[in-house]
C-alpha cells in the first residue's frame, strides 16, 4: 500500500473532526471507525468491543463489526474470553497466528487467522473497550500504524467512556424525570385529595390571619351561611353574620384574645343564614402553620339540630312541670270546688226539712241550696270544658244568628242576679250593627259571656256591669266591663292561665278555681279570635274579645224572645231518669204547658205517631230500648217539622253534631236551667 503512513496518520484528525457529530451515537461512531480502519489497512475483519462495569461485575458486548455480514458468524463466547484476556495488555500489539502470545493467537485463530492488530482501549486507568483488526493484507508501515492506533485508542476510549456516561446520565435523567413525574402526579393527587377532604368534610373550616382576614373557607363553612364563595363571605358585615347576642359574645372574645392571643378557644355561636334562618355552631379556634406562616384555624360544627332538640326537651320539661302544677292545682281545686257546694247542698238540705223553721227561713236555706247547686254545676261544666279544650275535642258548630238577640237573651238571663246584688246591669248595642247576623257558634259565645259576667259579679260589689258589642269592617267586638277592684298589672299577664288567681291564699275572699278566663281564651281562639284585658287597680276591668266577622243583614228578622210563652201547648218529655222527668214536668207546667212523659225512645215514636197535638219534643239522647238518636230519625219520617230539642249530659264526644245529623233542632246540656230551657222552647214555639 502506497503512502500508508500519511493515510493512517490522517485517521486521527479525521476522527477528531467527526467526533462531535457522533459522540451521542456510539454504534454509528463504531461503524465509522471500523469501516475506515478496514479500508486503510486492508483488513478482512474489524471488531470494536465495548467494556462496561456495573458494580463488581463487568460486561462486554459488540459495539461494531465490519463487514456487518460477519457479525452473526462470530462466537461471542470466545470474543468475551478474548476481551477478558485483553485486560492483561495496555498497549496496541501485533499478533501472529503462528506465534504463541499468551493465548491471544489461539483465541484470534477462530476469527480466521492471519496477521492481526490487538488494540486495548483505555482512558487513564479505565478500560472502556477493545479494537481487533483481523488478517491485515498490507503489512508494511505496521509500525507507524501501531503508533497511530495507540493514539487512536485513547481518543476512542474517551469517546466510548463519554458515551457510557452520557447513557448513564440519560438513564438517570429519564429515571429521575419519571420519578419527578410520579411525584408530581402524587402531589397533584394529594392536593386534590386534600382539597376534597377539606370541602367534603362535615366540619366547616376557616383560616384567619393574625389581622383577622379570612384567607380560606371550605364549602361546608360557606354552606352554613348559605353562600357560595369566599368573596361572598367577605362581603358580609360582622353584624350580618352574628345574632345580636352572639355579636356581644364576639366582642368579649376579642377582648380576651388581647391577653392570651395564642390560646386554644372553644365556644358556641349563633349565626344568620342569608335566607333568614339561625344556625347554631360549636367552634374550636387554634393556631396552626399555614403556607409557612402562623395563622388561626377555626373549625365549625353545626349543632342546630342538637340545640333545637335541647330547646324542645326544655320546652317539654317546662310543659311537664306545668302539667304537674296543673294536676296539683286541679286536684286541690276540684276537691275544694266540689266538696264546698256539696256541703252546702247536703247540710242545708237536711235543715230545710226541719218542721220548726218558718217559711222565710226555708226560702233562705233553699236559696243557699240553689246557689250551691249552681256552683257545683258550673264547676263540673268548667272541668268538662277544660278536658275538651285541652284534648282538642271541643267541637265548633257554625251558623248564622242575630247578635242583638243573643245579647238581649244574655242580658235577660243575668239581669235578676245583678238586681239581687244591687248592681246596675247595662246593655250597649252598636246602633250601626242592629239587625246584624253573624256566622259563629252562639253556644260557645254564651259560655264566654257566662264566665266573664260571672267574674264581674264575683268581684264587683258596687257600681255597674256593662255588656255590649261593636262592629268593625273585619271583626266584631264583644265586651264585659265592671267597676270592681281591677287587676294588678303584674298579674294581668297570667290572668288567662289555667288555675290562676290574683289572690291564691287560703283566706281569699272569693270562691272559684281560676278557670273562667282561661276557658274563655281557649274558646275565643278556637273561634278564630283573640281576647284581651284592660284593667286598672281599684278602677275596674274591661275584657273584650274580637271574632272574625262573617255577616249578613236581615232587617225583617226579629228573634227577640221575652219568655212570655203561649199556654196549653203539649210538650213530649222523653226521659228515662224519673227525677229528671219530674223536674222538667214541674218547670213546664208552672210555665203553662201541658206535658206527656215517656221513659224510652220507642214510646216517644209511638206517642208522636198517635198524638198529633204534640208540638215539641224534649229528647234525652241516652235511653233504653231505643236511644234518642234513633228515635229522632224515626219521628222525622212522618213529623218533618216537629221541633225536637236534644237533652244531653255529654255522654260521648261529638254528641251535639250527631244529634243535629239525626234531625234535632236544638241542644241543651244537663243539668237543665229553667231560664235557658224556656228561652229555647220559646224560640221554636213563637
| Distance separating alpha carbons of residues 578 and 415, to the nearest angstrom | 32
Q: What is the C-alpha separation between 453 and 417, in angstroms, rounded?
A: 10
Average pLDDT over residues 96-120: 70
Strand pairing report for 436-440 and 204-208: unpaired
Stretch 296-303: mean pLDDT, rounded? 91
Helix, strand or coil, per DSSP, at residue 51: strand
| pLDDT bracket for residue 23 (50, 70, 90) | low
What is the average per-residue pLDDT within 325-334? 67
What cell numbers appear for 673 in the block?
A: 236551667
What local confidence, expressed as pLDDT, does residue 1 receive? 42
- Does 148 score more than 80 pLDDT? no
Q: What is the pLDDT of residues 562-586, one digit of tens each?
A: 344 445 789 999 998 888 888 899 8
pLDDT at 484 over 50: yes
In a 3-state reduction of DSSP, which class is residue 347? helix
Share of the chain above pLDDT 90, in %: 17
> Which residues on adjacent β-strands are paired with residue 480?
467, 543
In this prediction, residue 160 has a pLDDT band, given cuts at 50, 70 and 90, of confident
Average pLDDT, rounded, for the chain: 81
CB atoms within 10 A of CB 539: 10
* DSSP label at residue 242: B
Higher-confidence position of 305 and 83: 305
49 near 132, Cβ under 8 Å? yes
| Three-class HEC string of 293-323 | EEEEEEEEEECHHHHHHHHHHHHHHHHHHHH
In this predicted structure, what is the pLDDT of residue 683? 82
Residue 505 has pLDDT above 50, yes or no: no
pLDDT of residue 284: 92
Location of C-alpha cell 485508542: 153
Q: In what order do the strands lie in the sheet with 399-402?
A: 399-402, 436-440, 551-553
DSSP calls for 594-637: EEEEESSHHHHHHHHHH-TTEEEEEEESS-SSS-HHHHHHHHHH
Residue 201's pLDDT is 82
Q: Where are the alpha helices (DSSP H) in 486-540?
A: 489-492, 516-526
Q: Is 136 helix (H, G, I), strand (E, B) or coil?
A: strand
Phi, psi of 553 (to 5 degrees): -130, 130
Highest mean pLDDT (candidates 108-117, 192-201, 473-482, 484-493): 473-482
- Above 80 in pLDDT, residue 152? no
Whether the upstream peptide bond of residue 643 has omega within 30° of 0, thus cis, is no
pLDDT-based confidence at 503, cuts 50/70/90? very low
**Can you list the pairs that 389-397 forms with residues at least 24 positions away whose Cβ atoms lie under 8 Å?**
389/519, 389/522, 389/523, 389/526, 393/653, 393/654, 394/522, 394/523, 394/526, 395/653, 395/654, 395/656, 395/657, 396/441, 396/444, 396/526, 396/527, 397/441, 397/443, 397/656, 397/657, 397/660
- pLDDT given for residue 352 in this prediction: 79
* pLDDT tens digits along 43-74: 888 888 888 776 666 777 778 888 888 877 77
pLDDT surpasses 50 at 2: no
Do 283 and 267 touch, CB atoms closer than 8 A?
yes
CA–CA dist 388, 390 (Å, integer): 6
- pLDDT level of residue 478 (50, 70, 90 thresholds): very high
Residue 560 confidence (pLDDT): 41
Closest CA to 480 of 502, 501, 459: 459
Which range, 261-270, 318-327, 550-559, 605-614, is most confident? 605-614
Torsion angle, CA of 52/54/58/63, rounded to 10 degrees? Answer: -30
| Domains observed in the chain | 4-171 (3.30.450.40), 201-302 (3.30.450.20), 313-388 (1.10.287.130), 395-553 (3.30.565.10), 570-685 (3.40.50.2300)
Distances (CA, A) of 450 to 129, 411, 480, 517: 127, 11, 10, 11
The 10s digit of each residue's pLDDT in 238-277 is 888 899 998 899 888 888 888 887 778 889 999 998 888 9
The answer to which of 8-12, 167-171, 327-331, 374-378 has the lowest mean pLDDT is 8-12
Calpha distance 52→32 (Å, rounded): 21
How high is the pLDDT of residue 8? 59
Q: What is the pLDDT of residues 442-456, one digit of tens each?
A: 889 999 999 999 889
If residue 95 lies in a helix (H) or strand (E), which one and from where to where?
strand 93-95
Examine the pLDDT at 635 and tell me if it is beyond 90. yes
Residue 562: its pLDDT value, please? 39
Q: Residues 15-49, buried b or exposed e (16+ Cβ, 10 A)?
A: beeebeebbeebeebbbbbbebbbebbebbbbbbb
pLDDT of residue 498: 67
Would you say 121 and 157 are in contact if contact means Cβ atoms under 8 Å apart?
yes
Q: Which residues of 151-170 are buried (b: 16+ CB within 10 A; e: fewer)?
A: ebbebbbbbbbbbbeeeeee
Cα–Cα distance for residue pair 580/668, rounded to 1 Å: 14
Amino acid at each position: 500500500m502506497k503512502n500508508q503512513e500519511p493515510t493512517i496518520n490522517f485517521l486521527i484528525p479525521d476522527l477528531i473532526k467527526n467526533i462531535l457529530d457522533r459522540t451521542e451515537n456510539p454504534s454509528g461512531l463504531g461503524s465509522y471507525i471500523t469501516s475506515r480502519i478496514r479500508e486503510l489497512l486492508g483488513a478482512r475483519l474489524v471488531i470494536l468491543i465495548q467494556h462496561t462495569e456495573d458494580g463488581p461485575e463487568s460486561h462486554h458486548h459488540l459495539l461494531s463489526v465490519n463487514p456487518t455480514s460477519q457479525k452473526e458468524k462470530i462466537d461471542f463466547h470466545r470474543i468475551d474470553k478474548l476481551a477478558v484476556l485483553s485486560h492483561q495488555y495496555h498497549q496496541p500489539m501485533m499478533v501472529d497466528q503462528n506465534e504463541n502470545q499468551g493465548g491471544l493467537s489461539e483465541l484470534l485463530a477462530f476469527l480466521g487467522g492471519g496477521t492481526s492488530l490487538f488494540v486495548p482501549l483505555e482512558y487513564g486507568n479505565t478500560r472502556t473497550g477493545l479494537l481487533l483488526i483481523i488478517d491485515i493484507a498490507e503489512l508494511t508501515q505496521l509500525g507507524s500504524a501501531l503508533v497511530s492506533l495507540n493514539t487512536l485508542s485513547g481518543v476512542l476510549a474517551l469517546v466510548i467512556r463519554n458515551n457510557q456516561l452520557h447513557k448513564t446520565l440519560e438513564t438517570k435523567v429519564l429515571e429521575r424525570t419519571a420519578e419527578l413525574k410520579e411525584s408530581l402526579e402524587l402531589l397533584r393527587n394529594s392536593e386534590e385529595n386534600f382539597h376534597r377532604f377539606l370541602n367534603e368534610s362535615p366540619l366547616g373550616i376557616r383560616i384567619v390571619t393574625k389581622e383577622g382576614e379570612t384567607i380560606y373557607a371550605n364549602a361546608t363553612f360557606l354552606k352554613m351561611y348559605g353562600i357560595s364563595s369566599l368573596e361572598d363571605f367577605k362581603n358580609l358585615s360582622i353584624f350580618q353574620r352574628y345574632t345580636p347576642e352572639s355579636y356581644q359574645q364576639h366582642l368579649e372574645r376579642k377582648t380576651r384574645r388581647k391577653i392570651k392571643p395564642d390560646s386554644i378557644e372553644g365556644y358556641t355561636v349563633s349565626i344568620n343564614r342569608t335566607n333568614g334562618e339561625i344556625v347554631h355552631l360549636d367552634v374550636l379556634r387554634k393556631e396552626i402553620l399555614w403556607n409557612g406562616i402562623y395563622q388561626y384555624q377555626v373549625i365549625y360544627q353545626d349543632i342546630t339540630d342538637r340545640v333545637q332538640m335541647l330547646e324542645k326537651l326544655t320546652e317539654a320539661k317546662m310543659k311537664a312541670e306545668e302539667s304537674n302544677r296543673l294536676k296539683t292545682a286541679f286536684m286541690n281545686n276540684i276537691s275544694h270546688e266540689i266538696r264546698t257546694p256539696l256541703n252546702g247542698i247536703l247540710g242545708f238540705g237536711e235543715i230545710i226539712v226541719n218542721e220548726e223553721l218558718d217559711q222565710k227561713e226555708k226560702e233562705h236555706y233553699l236559696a243557699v241550696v240553689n246557689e250551691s247547686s249552681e256552683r257545683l254545676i258550673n264547676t263540673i261544666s268548667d272541668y268538662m270544658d277544660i278536658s275538651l279544650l285541652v284534648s282538642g275535642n271541643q267541637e265548633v258548630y257554625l251558623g248564622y244568628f242575630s247578635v242583638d238577640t243573643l245579647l238581649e237573651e244574655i242580658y235577660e238571663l243575668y239581669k235578676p242576679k245583678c238586681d239581687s246584688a244591687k248592681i246596675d246591669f247595662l246593655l250597649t248595642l252598636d246602633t250601626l250593627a242592629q239587625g246584624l247576623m253573624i256566622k259563629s257558634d252562639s253556644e260557645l259565645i254564651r259560655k264566654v259571656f257566662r264566665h266573664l259576667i260571672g267574674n264581674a259579679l264575683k268581684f264587683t260589689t258596687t257600681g255597674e256591669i256593662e255588656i255590649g258589642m261593636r262592629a268593625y269592617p273585619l271583626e266584631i267586638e264583644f265586651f264585659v266591663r265592671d267597676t270592681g277592684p281591677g287587676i294588678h298589672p303584674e298579674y294581668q299577664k297570667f290572668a288567662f292561665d289555667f288555675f290562676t288567681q290574683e289572690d291564691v291564699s287560703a283566706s281569699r275572699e272569693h270562691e272559684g278555681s281560676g278557670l273562667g278566663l282561661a276557658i274563655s281564651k281557649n274558646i275565643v281562639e278556637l273561634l278564630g279570635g283573640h281576647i284581651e284585658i284592660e284593667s286598672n287597680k281599684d278602677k275596674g276591668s274591661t275584657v273584650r274579645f274580637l271574632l272574625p266577622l262573617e255577616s249578613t243583614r236581615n232587617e225583617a228578622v226579629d228573634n227577640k224572645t221575652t219568655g212570655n210563652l203561649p199556654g196549653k201547648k203539649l210538650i213530649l218529655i222523653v226521659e228515662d231518669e224519673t227525677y229528671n222527668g219530674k223536674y222538667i214536668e214541674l218547670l213546664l207546667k208552672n210555665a203553662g204547658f201541658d206535658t206527656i212523659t215517656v221513659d224510652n225512645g220507642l214510646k216517644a215514636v209511638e206517642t208522636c205517631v198517635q198524638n198529633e197535638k204534640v208540638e215539641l219534643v224534649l229528647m234525652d239522647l241516652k235511653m233504653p230500648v231505643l236511644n234518642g238518636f234513633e228515635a229522632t230519625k224515626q219521628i222525622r219520617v212522618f213529623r218533618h217539622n216537629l221541633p225536637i230539642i236534644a237533652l244531653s249530659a255529654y255522654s260521648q264526644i261529638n254528641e251535639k253534631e250527631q244529634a243535629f245529623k239525626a234531625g234535632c233542632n236544638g241542644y241543651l246540656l244537663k243539668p237543665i236551667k229553667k231560664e235557658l230551657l224556656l228561652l229555647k222552647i220559646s224560640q221554636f214555639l213563637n
